[in-house]
A and B are shown apart, each in its own frame.
Chain A
Amino acid sequence: MTRVTAARAGMFLRPLATLAGLVVLWWGLGRWGGIPPYMLPPPDAVARALWTGRAQLLPAALTTGEETLLGLALGIGAGSALAVAMALWAPLRRWVMPMVLFSQAVPVFALAPLLVLWFGFGMASKVVMAVLVIFFPVTSALGDGLRQTEAGWMDLARTMGATRLRVLLHVRLPAAMPSFASGVRMATAIAPIGAVVGEWVGASSGLGFLMQTANTRFQTDLMFAALAVLAAMTVLLWWGVDRLLARALYWQPRHEDID
């Protein structure tokens, strides 16, 4: 096995080993910790619930996945557009940024009932919730990246007689991509939270809705199964986005194998 293959295998095996350790701990807590199954169902019960509840879990996961992806696409689009607009026209930043910060100071849980009231029980309110959650990290990360363009490149562009728009397109935006990618990674990890919070407050489908229903019926194993599906979806989504970004940022060295 080459060093690279071994490093790649380790990348997958290490988190799996940690997960296996946590599952054993969880199982031990149920078995010898005296915690009743309705509070902490054992892993095998959750595994059974995953299989028996698949008819509910799969459509719920699809709904949440759809809301998350739509929210992510719209949030990244809107966040990027605002960051670019602020980079092109500095006064906009002074006018708009305090409001963006203000929107982050309001807990999403407090906003969720209002959004359901305004946008209904359907998908729209959950998508808006996801957009609200991820808007700030994207705007902030891309905005920071655009403001921190290497001064030497800006000098060079000026002596070359570049226009502002072309400097933005060919120098500032590509230079801001690593920072933007950090914002997108963060947004990807938290977008499902926005969707699920929306579902929790008022919905007729989705993993959040399923969790809430299972919770009120004391079906803790099904609730755990829904949580496991949500976590798996988030990890998969994050991994996919991370790979895409790594490919898009082909000039950036990756340091994942360096301890």
Chain B
Amino acid sequence: MQAAPALHLEGVGLDFGSAPLFHDLDLKIGGGIMTVLLGASGVGKTSLLRMLGGLAAPDRGCIVAGDGLPLAGRIAWMGQQDLLLPWASIADNVMLGARLRGESPDRARMGHLLDCVGLAAHAAALPATLSGGMRQRAALARVLYEDRPVILMDEPFSALDSVTRARMQDLAGRMLAGRTVVLITHDPLEACRLADSMLLMAGHPATISAIAVPDGQVPRAVDDPSVLATQSALLRRMLQ
């Protein structure tokens, strides 16, 4: 994998209709760490992530990589839904990127990644035959297959039950270590378990403030006292 760059937003502005969603926003997202983005619905988290992913262009300002190289081709995306193609097997879904770029798929690598996420026995299965948690694991394997230094995740575990979600957080925390990850979540516990850096978005136009993260290495244990204390403080702050 290439070195994971930092991401810099410089004077970024984005309008939603006539109202500015962001105005002159400056932000530095650390390279090689997991940055968790929190905030109420409609505050602009997904819009920010889409701009980072090159899926939407800012109306003003620019987004650049800290190493000065272009961001295009260095980003992998994981959305709220698993976005698995229902007609393709799990194996073909994992290797979708290669097929879409006209590269020859690396079956050995795909097999290894499915093994890592515990889906080795389901390579030939269709997505519809798997549970929600298994499908999100397949989506994670697809992200890992891309082997990009920057990973953008838009509430990837929000549709899962709490036990499956906790397991996915463990898996993602381990597998994505060393990459520049920006993760949107509504779940304070998820944020406290996974964040190396935590940002809270609020207001219109949105402003971003940093929040102290719990001690310890990512992924932190669900019953870690530091995680639970930070989670309570965070929830209190989000309720204000």
Interface residues in B35-72 (C-beta closer than 8 Å to A) = 50, 53-55, 72
**How many contacting A-B pairs (Cβ < 8 A)?**
66
Alpha-carbon distance A157/B76, docked complex (angstroms):
10
Q: Is the interface of A mostly helix, strand, loop or mixed?
A: helix
Chain A residues near B128 (CB-CB < 8 A): 251, 253
Residue of B nearest to A167 (CB): B100
Chain A residues near B79 (CB-CB < 8 A): 152, 155-156
Whether B96 contacts A160 by the Cβ 8 Å rule is: yes
Chain B residues near A152 (CB-CB < 8 A): 79, 81, 83
Whether B76 contacts A170 by the Cβ 8 Å rule is: no
Alpha-carbon distance A11/B100, docked complex (angstroms):
41
Interface string of B75-102 (1 = CB under 8 A from A): 1110101010111100000001101111
* A153 proximal to B (CB < 8 A): yes
Whether A158 contacts B96 by the Cβ 8 Å rule is: no
Alpha-carbon distance A210/B184, docked complex (angstroms):
70
Chain A residues near B190 (CB-CB < 8 A): none
* A163 proximal to B (CB < 8 A): yes
* B146 proximal to A (CB < 8 A): yes
Whether B99 contacts A251 by the Cβ 8 Å rule is: no
Whether A166 contacts B99 by the Cβ 8 Å rule is: yes
Measured CB to CB, the closest approach of chain B to A248, in angstroms, equals: 10
Give the bracket for the number of chain B residues in contact with chain A.
20 to 34
* A162 proximal to B (CB < 8 A): yes
* B73 proximal to A (CB < 8 A): yes
Chain A residues near B50 (CB-CB < 8 A): 155
Give the bracket for the number of chain A residues in contact with chain B.
20 to 34
Alpha-carbon distance A170/B100, docked complex (angstroms):
7
* B206 proximal to A (CB < 8 A): no
Residue of A nearest to B98 (CB): A160
Whether B100 contacts A159 by the Cβ 8 Å rule is: no
* A107 proximal to B (CB < 8 A): no
Measured CB to CB, the closest approach of chain A to B129, in angstroms, equals: 10
Q: Which of B53, B87, B102 contacts A159 (CB 8 A)?
A: B53
Whether A157 contacts B100 by the Cβ 8 Å rule is: yes
Alpha-carbon distance A157/B102, docked complex (angstroms):
12
Chain A residues near B96 (CB-CB < 8 A): 156, 160, 170
Whether A171 contacts B85 by the Cβ 8 Å rule is: yes
Whether A156 contacts B83 by the Cβ 8 Å rule is: yes
Measured CB to CB, the closest approach of chain B to A163, in angstroms, equals: 7
Q: Which of A155, A156, A159, A170 contacts B99 (CB 8 A)?
A: A170
Known: A251-B126, A251-B128. A159 touches B101 (CB 8 A): no
Interface residues in A141-163 (C-beta closer than 8 Å to B) = 150, 152-153, 155-163
Chain A residues near B126 (CB-CB < 8 A): 250-251
Chain B residues near A163 (CB-CB < 8 A): 100-102
Whether A160 contacts B97 by the Cβ 8 Å rule is: yes
**Selected A-B contacts with CB under 8 Å, 15 pairs:** A153-B85, A158-B54, A158-B55, A160-B96, A160-B97, A160-B146, A161-B100, A161-B101, A162-B97, A166-B101, A167-B100, A174-B87, A175-B85, A251-B87, A251-B128
